[in-house]
């Protein structure tokens, strides 16, 4: 059982880190020089989280579909 806890904690840390970076990129000028607009004032952190969930859900569905077709 302890071996199952560590991967789950690692996944949670990865997800929190991904959310942090996505929020940073979307709501600041961190990638302005690369052409990424700043959406602060247009999107809330909650909306960014929902967008991330949609993207991740779509990626997971495509991955599952590709795995099933092999």
pLDDT tens-digit series, residues 3-50: 555 667 776 777 678 778 888 899 999 999 999 999 999 999 999 989
pLDDT for 17: 82
For residue 26, count CB atoms less than 10 angstroms from its CB and return exposed for 0-12, middle for 13-18, buried for 19 or more.
buried
**Which of the pair, 68 or 50, is modelled with greater confidence?**
50
Sign of the C-alpha dihedral computed for residues 29, 14, 45 and 51 taken in this order: positive
Q: How many CB atoms lie within 10 A of CB 66?
A: 9
> What range defines the domain where residue 22 resides?
2-68
Say whether pTM exceeds 0.85: no
Cα gap 16→23, rounded to integer Å: 11
Domain count for the chain:
1
């Amino acid at each position: 059982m302890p071996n199952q806890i560590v991967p789950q904690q690692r996944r949670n840390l990865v997800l929190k880190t991904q959310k942090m970076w996505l929020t940073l990129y979307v709501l600041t000028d961190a990638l302005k020089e690369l052409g990424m607009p700043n959406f602060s004032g247009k999107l809330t952190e909650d909306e960014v989280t929902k967008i991330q969930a949609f993207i991740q859900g779509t990626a997971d569905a495509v991955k599952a579909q590709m795995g099933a077709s092999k």
